[in-house]
Amino acid sequence: MKKIKVGVIGTGFIGPTHIEAIRRIGFAEVVAIAGNGQESTERKAAELGIPRAYGDYRDLLKDDEVEVVHNCTPNHLHFPINKEIVLAGKHVLSEKPLAMSSEESAELLALAKEHKVVHGVCFNYRQFPIVKQLASMIKKEQLGKVNLVHGSYLQDWMLYETDYNWRLAPEVGGKSRTVADIGSHWCDTVQYVIGKKIVEVFADLATVIPVRKKPSSTGETFGGQSPVDTAYEDIPINTEDYASVLVHFEDGTRGVFTVSQVSAGRKNRLSFEVNGSQQSAQWNQEEPEKLWIGHRDKPNEILMADPSLFADEAKSAIHHPGGHNEGWPDAMKNMMINFYSFIRDGKDPHSDETPFATFEDGHISMCITDAILRSHEQQKWISVESIKEVIL
């Protein structure tokens, strides 16, 4: 069996996560990685058991054996590298956000169509079995007509004023932080689940910690020891720690979501509740194996992920019998199964249904982020206008 040959750009946290997920599916193999500098990339390749290492990603793009490239770099490099991947005629799976602005994402989408490559964006929360099952239930109108959607995405990794990270710098992380980083996941997941697009937003953003303390270079940390006299530099912050956003969907469905990176005790709590005219459903990513289903006239239900209780079209997203819970890495695996099956079967993202988020979804996400920022500035409802042009 010939395996699909893959290259991965970026060797930080998320790159190896992609590599492991690809390995699980059996019909694709990572033949090369690209990092920053030849020596360190070779060390990483040896550690990960990857045959070839490139100190410059451009060399990976010239590797003829590589058919698919994963872009696992920091945010500000997504656009230029995605562009080069497409121009190199290779299929591409990009980390989100797709770009730094909706102009850039529009350009990438057009380019990808033109060059006829398969394009994906790593909106991985769609790939949880329970999320697929809920999308199927809603499509079949088991909840009745969806009327309301509300939820939040809460984290605590930026809680303290001494929490500092490259994402805080707008030139690297982008002009929106919390909305772009995690609000984008909430919107993508919810739009996927209810099968409707957000067309209008009203937003309230806040920078809860307006000045953060960045460890100065002079206060060095030795060998993992906790520094005794770290010196800090005060850095004014202008990206948001928090947002609450009222949303209207294309058919008038109402919703609201809150995102925060300063909510102590919440690690990665993406959650939402859908209220339909007959039933409700609620999901929380920190307990990904459960779906709460709400009823008026009978007891509420807790659906544990279990192939024997799932709809046919959601069953394939779960790989073990009930009670053998699959988690976050398994959703990544599902993403790879879906993305690589699509490539293997020679499908076209512009005519076939894509069981993964594409550059189109990545562009829609950018447009929503733009509208949210504008709404907060202008303190009024803003249309997510570009959606129309994309969909049509």
Residues of this chain, 350-389, that bind a copy of itself according to CB under 8 A: 379-381
Q: Does 157 bind a copy of itself (CB under 8 A)?
A: yes
Residues within window 161-200 making contact with a copy of itself, judged by CB under 8 A: none
Residue 125 and residue 189 in contact, taking contact as beta carbons nearer than 8 Å? yes
| CB of residue 40 to a copy of itself, shortest distance in Å | 16
**Contact between 264 and a copy of itself per CB under 8 A:** yes
Q: Which residue from 234, 323, 351, 353 is in contact with a copy of itself, where contact means CB under 8 A?
A: 323
Per-residue string for binding with a copy of itself, 229-248, x by CB under 8 A? -------------x-x-x--
**2 or 353, CB closer to a copy of itself?**
2
Query: Does position 288 bind a copy of itself by CB under 8 A?
Result: yes
* Distance between CA atoms of residues 143 and 71, nearest Å: 38
**Does 275 participate in binding a copy of itself (rule CB under 8 A)?**
yes
Other CB atoms within a 10 A radius of the CB of residue 184 amount to 27
Buried b (16+ CB within 10 A) or exposed e, 104-143: bbbbbbebbbebebbbbbbbbbbbbbbbbbbbbbbeeeeb
Residue 272 touching a copy of itself (CB under 8 A) = no
Residue 182 tokens read as 């995690």
Distance in Å, CB of 327 to a copy of itself, minimum: 4
For a copy of itself, give the closer residue by CB, 20 or 84: 20
Is 204 a binding residue for a copy of itself by CB under 8 A? The answer is yes
C-beta separation of 174 from 76 below 8 A: yes
- How many CB atoms within 10 Å of residue 75? 21
Q: Does 148 sit near a copy of itself (CB under 8 A)? A: yes
> Between residues 117 and 372, which has the closer beta carbon with respect to a copy of itself?
372
Say if CB 282 and CB 177 are below 8 A apart: no
User: Is residue 321 involved in binding a copy of itself (CB under 8 A)?
Assistant: yes
83-112 residues in contact with a copy of itself (CB under 8 A) are: none
Query: How far is residue 156's CA from residue 265's CA, in Å, rounded to a whole number?
Result: 6
Near a copy of itself by CB under 8 A: residue from 55, 80, 170, 322: 322
Rounded-to-integer distance, Cα 160 and Cα 209, Å: 8
Of 280, 203, 195, residue with least CA distance to 240 = 203
